[in-house]
Structure 1
Amino acid sequence: MRQLLYIFALSILTNFAAHAQRRPEPCATMEMDSLRRLRFPSEGSLDDFERDLQRKMVELKSKMASSRGAADIITIPVVVHVIHNGEAVGVGRNISQAQIQSQIETLNEDFRRRVNTNGFNNDARGADIEIEFCMAQFNPNGQRMTEAGIDRVNGNRTSWARTDIEGSLKPTTSWDPNKYYNIWVLDFAAQDDNLLGYAQFPSSSGLSGIPSGGGAASTDGVVINYANFGNSQKGSFSLLRAPYNLGRTLTHETGHWLGLRHIWGDAACGDDFCADTPTQASESRGCQKGRISCGGANMVENYMDYSDDGCFNIFTKDQKTRMRTVMEVSPRRASLLTSNVCGQLISGSPIPNFVAENRTVLLGGQVRFTDLSTNFPTAWKWEFEGGDPATSTSQNPTVTYTTAGKFKVTLTVSNTAGTSAPLVRTEYVEVINAGLCATVTNFSGTGTVLRQTGGTGYIAGQNSRRTQAVAELYSNPLGYTNLRGATLKFGVAKAAKSTETESVVRVKVWNARGFQGGPGSELTVKEIPLRKILDDVKNNRETKVVFDQNINLLSQNNLAFLIGVEFDYVAGDTVALVTTRDGESLNATSWERNSSGSWDRYIVRTGLNIAHSITADVGMKPSVQIQASAQFINPGEAVILQARGAGVINWSPSEGLSSTLGPQVTARPTRTLTYLVKGSGSDVCRDSASATIYVRNVQILGSETLPDKELTLSPNPTDGMVEVKFTNSLRGKVLLRLRSITGAEVWRAEFEKNTDAFVQPINVRTYPAGDYFIDLQLGDYADRKRLVKF
């Protein structure tokens, strides 16, 4: 991870992570962060994680001090997956056993501060991490390996792009990351020629602020270029390329894999959360001993900098404490200590153990279980109270829970030596029958429109860097299965006079199966007229988007997703999203696609740690949605409107419609109109939706029939009085209902609407604190908003 793009996937903090020549981005680990952090108020933030981690570190320091500075030696089992193209062993990419052994020896020297490490023992700031790495003796089937710790795989290609590594290679070749430290050694594809390697940060620590799912198990580990894996001082390995030929790429990436940040904190004079590493302005190159920045001398010899291999020689005491703490709190790291794949094969019946990917789930959600049993079981018997299926013989089953409550899980395992006693964990899974329809966001802070530094335009909009798109990552830890739409806050919107009526902004959704958990396949796109965004910005309101059809997140085999905006560069047109201020959001959830089409986190490209003002409309049930065959038409042209999500459909207004009933109607409006649809007969999250058809050369924005201003509640949250407000041209009786979070009606009343604007105060002071819904109905127009009472 130095001078060439080291990719380190930050799973609890941020992510961090390339070739024989000097490159501008040595470590791509930051950019490879596969963590998906969905922020709910009760789950805290990255700051919460760091505070909890610091407390753990204090405890560990105290423990080490009481034992006079010596910690137990931790041994981590390693498997090196050598990815070749059919070459003979020891030829080209199919590197020799000796080269691999030289690398593991170097890794142990660096982590144990041994004598033959460059000057290591002469620096008083250096620490013996007291972590060692052993080559696994047994494969996942319990068979002794011919070459200890080496798994040779013919990948049937010469080189690998990161998308292919993450999407296909890793998932098909990974060994259980609860029992093995997976290292892939291969040749990067031409587009990644600047990569030395990358890593995935530890996840699922159980600390506040960490998503229960964390980084994917199937991609956990590090990837290293075969020409930078090994130590040329320990043998004649002609493929190794200076100045990254002494094995320090793996040391750097392993530091990331164990929770270390880059020494400069991935920002100018940033914080790496280790007090004894001097602050520095940026990464170091070569071996800049004596370099001064941020008011002091830089520790260019630190393994978490970007110096050349020959310059590195130190981990500090605080870095040691951090890595040792991660080994205690991160489940996949901690389980490595009991995997028993490095020593003698243990005979006897297996010992059951398991972990759930998430122990709190919404009604109708899924829980993935991972077997952690020792002594190589060959058969598994699971029992899931309240689950579907109720039993399973799979090693790592997925269970759906359709009943609320707290449920036990039982596991019994066996092999040829015998059967274990059952392991019973009572009230292990909690299923919640609340919040089944919700909105989620990562945005919490001060709304800001960030200008591009050293250029023109906006960070989260069009700019001189020609950013193609921006996106916000939602890790979805509660397992919402349906995505209906989104609300985006734009802070800037400008239009060229000639394009204002026709220009559109594309709001897109991607699954999170791309490189290191970033944007993968496009799931949907919705074009929003620029004129709509212009009006929303002018009136300081959010832009609401309902997708043409429900997005089934379960079908993606990964419930995480991203929502963002794709930009066109039309002269005179400009839009930019509102974000938090830099540093107000530390979750590394914001992504951008550069001018060449490559996705990366903001923290890597710009050094900014922000969140976009985007809110996702999610649920455990689908919602009513509308798809229009066209948005811009000439007067009287036909538009097909298709409603989905309910059994019975009603449309309004009737103007220009072929019918007001049925899921599909034909509209021929002669002026700009917003058509409303109300659904019934199905259990849905939201039973109404709207679609605006813009008629050219007739009306300007602001003259649509329905609705001008959507339902708002103010103040919200409230301790007593709340005003219900909305504006449109409809008249008649307004029915208001107050419902509990479970949907039970607790209050209702009717009011008369005689003007465009409707304002009605409601007193909720006597009701218990909690979440409620206010439902509004006026003829066929309906809306619902969540109300928080404190």
Structure 2
Amino acid sequence: MLENYMDYSSDNCMNTFTLNQKSRAKAVLASSTLRGQLSSASNLFSTGLSGSSISCSPSAAFDVSRTLACVGDLIDLFDQSAFQSAVSYLWEVKNTQTGALQTFMSANPQFTLSQDGLYQVKLSILNGQGSDSETKTNLLTIRPAGGTTHSPYFYAGMEDPLPNSIWTVEGNGDNKNWARSTNVKQTGNASYYHPNFNVSNASDGDALIAGPIALSSANSLTLKFAHAFARKTVMDDDQLKVYVSTDCGASWSLVRITPAFQLGTSALVPSSPYVPQASDWKETTVMLSAYKNNPHLMIKFEMVSGGGNNLYMDDVRLTYGVTQDEVSQAQWVLMPNPSHGMAVLAVNHPNHGMEQVRILNLNGQLLHQMDWKGPRMALPVLPAGSYVIQLTGSGTREHLRWVQLH
């Protein structure tokens, strides 16, 4: 018996040949109609093993240094195409909203963009053997360089489809990215959720990114957000990580990690996608006073899957602590809040200094303005939604959040 290897056998004798089997194997390898073709000159040439080059059409592929940037930031495109002979390049970077187009003809161009928005990138390559192209839609998200001002503070109710002027997403490649849900919300008409139910444990997370947000001078800076989550088992180790960036996403600083057992309800939901009840929502507060003096800030929520169920987020707020000349001895009460129809605004201190009451929507648009005639004042009935009550006076300013339900 001889020891060898038979690739057509899967049992315990796959390495055992008889002398006749040895002769048969050699005959197959020598046959011009069987495996003898493997070492023929024509087959070696066709498979690239003859030492000679093969002429073939190019295959386009590329990558980018960053998918999120601000106006004026440097962006690099990297050619990763496959080809035998030299190719010519045509890059097309197009704003999908305005149609503005930039073109480049080098292998690895570096460039900046002067308009914020979403950009499509297309690479076309050509040589004597043929041509190919690759297009990536909405590859680049470009934000305003100085950030966007939100009055009286930043609030995001997760109402619009992703991506939008506030939010963008970055995935880890498994196509299980953050998305909008109109079936689940804490307030308003929608929330954002991560479809974590169908995700296995992952070392890389999926990110939901806001900003840059233009900041105002303040004594303190606080991030608050609502979330709802359920584990499948007590062993799940999902994490929600919160990062901030002061350089438009070029680098990130980790400011909070919330583990699975703190992220949501204690009840386990093992066998079906989690849909939260109204009582399941929690609120997390992150102090960001170390970043209060930066001109703008980006916020990133990264869900790292560890076996758990879906995660929902709503009502993200970035609020400022008032300066000393805005501190009031008055205590304002808005009741009921949330309210069904009419609500009443009241104050318990005679020297409150307030002169006007302004009602704003979450985009900072003024809806109503009234002179204060306290100590109690009925507020107008508004459509269902979230509002900001702005109280202004001589040297004072305060803000209250108001939720109107119907």
TM-score class, shorter: 0.3 to 0.5
| Structure with greater helix percent | 1
Higher relative contact order (Cα pairs below 8 Å, separated by 6+ residues): 2
| Structure with greater strand percent | 2
| TM-score, normalising length: structure 1 | 0.23
| TM-score, normalising length: structure 2 | 0.40
Larger Rg: 2
